A and B are shown apart, each in its own frame.
Chain A
Amino acid sequence: MDVRFSPEQQALRDSAAQAVDRLGPHTVRDLEDTERAAKLDAAVEASGWRELRAAGEGRAPLASAVEAAIIAEEMGRGLADAPFVGATLAAELRRLVGAPPATARETVGFVADLSAPAVADRGTLPAGAVAIDARHSASALVLVPVEGGHAVAEVSLDASIPAEVDLTRPAATIAAGAGMERLGPVEQPLTADDLRRWTALGLGLTSADLVGVMRGVLSVACEYAGARRQYGVAIGSFQAVQHMLADACVAMEGSRSVALHAAWAVDALAAEEALAATAMAKAYCSRAARMVCETGIQVHGGIGNTWDCMAHVYLRRALLAIDVLGGAGANLQRVLDHNGIGGADGLR
């Protein structure tokens, strides 16, 4: 056991950190700077990070989920408004069914509450199905039940929905009456274990994204607590404020440990175990991230409740990442199921 990053992994983290620090949004106004966002997107594109889970030799992914999680964490920390999680999950679907790589930007379609991928039943997608992390994507992948599992099909997307939850990652509606085109040539259907492993990747990546968001908001809040003065002193000198931030830091560090393990588990463990490990991480990180982001808002006081303060941008990003494949409650249930506790009438 040695859970330190390799020198290559450290270098990957450093280059991702540099890209988001240089080109990511630092103010709410920056979010409207399309030129800056295009540069960030071009940097991510040039780096090949969105293809980490594409098929390499013998259909193995080009990189492990640990590398993908390293990118997800740094993008979360820097509130990167360039697609990553959606594109990575789409690439993983293509890899698992042995489909050729995408020729254009794409993402994945989910059910309306994002708790599961959208499955087209007899050619119809569930009401409110939506594509996540859809900036620059003209299409999304959805699942189609077939003998022995699921096939993967491509649907085209309407224009982006104006970002309401996550200001850094707009969703898109799936075009009404759009044709559904099965990916081909496909070697095999997605098995139940494939779907577990794919879900594990999604849980691992969103956990890493949440860890990044927590690091980011904590750093902004600590900076503000050191600068903002009341009663003639910095508010960060008050124990009441210090203890809130200390609790946030502790929650973030615990999350970091479980998210790291989740990223490793995606490829290293059997599918059932990988799903349980990543669900455990996602439950922990979801609960922590909401608390940490709320602390970020509270430390900023009245300003923290205004649109122009970055604190809510972190919270909003967290709210999306929490919902993708389920947050604390859904993943607690997965953990209980894995341990054979809490039957079907349990916590759903």
Chain B
Amino acid sequence: MDFGDSPEEADFRRRLRDWLRDNNPGLPASSTSDAYWAGQAPWHQALYDAGFFGMSWPKDIGGQGLPSVYEVIVDAELARAGAPPRPSLGYLVVGIGHHASDDVKQRFLPGLVNGRDRWCQGFSEPDAGSDLASLRTRAELDGDEYVITGHKVWTSYSDAADWCLLLARTDPDVPKHRGLSAFAVPMRQPGIEQRPLKMINGVTREFGEVLFDGARVPAANMIGQPGEGWRLAMTVVSHEREPGELGYVARYSKVVSELGRQVKADPGKFGPEQVRDLGWAMIEAEMLRLHVSRRLSDRMDGISHGPEGSVDKLLMTAVEQAVGHAALSVGGTPHGDGDDMWLKVYLYSRAQSVMGGTSQIQRNLVASRILGLPAS
């Protein structure tokens, strides 16, 4: 049992640290500015080209083929350098990787991993949120293409995406979970309209809604078999919940160290309540780093993603929201001319208990699948 670096890990850490010295793009925080989202693709490509992205993914799709714990080192060093977190795409890679044929994987995964193709995920709909399986977007076979009609929402990065991992109903005549299939849909075509969503922190480039009206996708772009969409969705969301996949540890550590610098710079300005809020946010952020280390180590046993992803998502949510509260408390609310960055960090933190499955749904899953409590 060792939280320390092996010689190889220490060497990797040194190389990454050196690289970051010259290659930190200094983007603003994802939670506060559209500039982050605009700069995400070049950042992804730069990380990838330098060999610091996709550490644990297979080499044949462009990954580094290393143990998952290398992701912990990447997150720690990004945070230390004040660099942006790594792009959160693991759930797409794993979803396609687990369900697509080898041919489809080779067509799509290298471009997704190396950052040259931008992807979004079309799952949720206005009437299908927590009850995802009730989604109504249709995909109807017409020759060797499917024709897509429907309305997706909470589609991350839809404005920049070249491709959408779309969940649509291909068979309306079977029970709702069985009639879904997944597709890689080209986004740049007539029949697709993308509208940005303005979130409560003012950011407009993270989420969008996408309207499909007669958009076309080749049948060969189906991911997995007809009817496999629900299983793919479950693979994707269970990874989407995992802090180890998301790399948010770097984001939280960065916020708490910036708040810490503010307090240190002018200690007299801050009262005990503010200092206490910051202290707990530091402890929470560090907890998540250690928790991710533990989970990623367990993966070396080949432990697959199970219901503990819900525990991890709830822990991550507690961290995000404790950090958000510290940002509000220490950073303050700008009633006059002040900077509203910390207010935005706080406002953004409220989404964490909703996105990727609400905290209430996660608690249901923990209760039934981990604690073995009887069905309600």
Q: Is B260's CB under 8 angstroms from A260's CB? A: no
A contact residues, total (Cβ < 8 Å) = 50
Considering the complex, give the chain B residue whose CB is closest to the CB of A343: B267
Considering the complex, give the chain B residue whose CB is closest to the CB of A64: B1
* Residues in A neighbouring B298, C-beta threshold 8 A: 4
Stretch at the interface among B19-27, B84-92, B198-206, B270-278: B270-278
Q: Is A342's CB under 8 angstroms from B272's CB? A: yes
* Residues in A neighbouring B376, C-beta threshold 8 A: 237-239, 242
Q: Is A284's CB under 8 angstroms from B279's CB? A: no
Q: Is A250's CB under 8 angstroms from B1's CB? A: no
- Whole-angstrom distance between the Cβ of A95 and the nearest chain B Cβ: 21
Stretch at the interface among A53-61, A86-94, A305-313, A332-340: A332-340
Is B49 in the interface zone, CB < 8 Å from A? no
* Residues in A neighbouring B283, C-beta threshold 8 A: 280, 283-284, 332, 335
- Whole-angstrom distance between the Cβ of A301 and the nearest chain B Cβ: 16
Given known A242-B373, A246-B367, contact A3–B294 (CB-CB < 8 A): yes
Is B286 in the interface zone, CB < 8 Å from A? yes
Q: Is B272's CB under 8 angstroms from A261's CB? A: no
Interface centre among A249, A257, A258, A340 (most CB of B within 10 A): A257
Q: Bound state CA distance, A280 and B374, in angstroms?
A: 36
Bitwise, B293-307 to A at CB < 8 A (1) or not (0) is: 110011011000000
The residue from A1, A254, A336 contacting B72, defined by CB atoms under 8 A apart: A1
Is B291 in the interface zone, CB < 8 Å from A? yes
- Whole-angstrom distance between the Cβ of A322 and the nearest chain B Cβ: 15
Is A123 in the interface zone, CB < 8 Å from B? no
The residue from B275, B291, B373 contacting A341, defined by CB atoms under 8 A apart: B275
* Residues in A neighbouring B127, C-beta threshold 8 A: none
- Whole-angstrom distance between the Cβ of B355 and the nearest chain A Cβ: 18
Is B263 in the interface zone, CB < 8 Å from A? yes
* Residues in B neighbouring A230, C-beta threshold 8 A: none
Q: Bound state CA distance, A261 and B295, in angstroms?
A: 13
Considering the complex, give the chain B residue whose CB is closest to the CB of A338: B282
Residues A1-18 near B (CB distance < 8 A): 1-6, 9
Is B338 in the interface zone, CB < 8 Å from A? no
Residues A194-246 near B (CB distance < 8 A): 218, 222, 225-226, 233-234, 236-239, 241-243, 245-246
Q: Is B5's CB under 8 angstroms from A258's CB? A: no
Q: Bound state CA distance, A347 and B294, in angstroms?
A: 32
Q: Is A257's CB under 8 angstroms from B291's CB? A: yes
Given known A1-B4, A246-B363, A280-B283, contact A340–B264 (CB-CB < 8 A): yes
Considering the complex, give the chain B residue whose CB is closest to the CB of A288: B287
Q: Bound state CA distance, A153 and B6, in angstroms?
A: 41
The residue from B69, B282, B291, B366 contacting A249, defined by CB atoms under 8 A apart: B366
Q: Bound state CA distance, A6 and B300, in angstroms?
A: 13
8 A-B pairs with C-beta separation under 8 A:
A1-B293, A246-B314, A246-B363, A249-B370, A260-B290, A336-B275, A336-B279, A346-B275
Which of A's residues lie within 8 Å of B, judged by CB? Answer: 1-6, 9, 66, 218, 222, 225-226, 233-234, 236-239, 241-243, 245-247, 249-250, 253-254, 256-258, 260-261, 264-265, 268, 280, 283-284, 332-333, 335-336, 339-343, 346-347
**Besides the known contacts A332-B283, A339-B260, 6 further A-B residue pairs in the complex with CB atoms under 8 A apart:** A1-B72, A2-B1, A3-B1, A257-B287, A336-B279, A341-B263
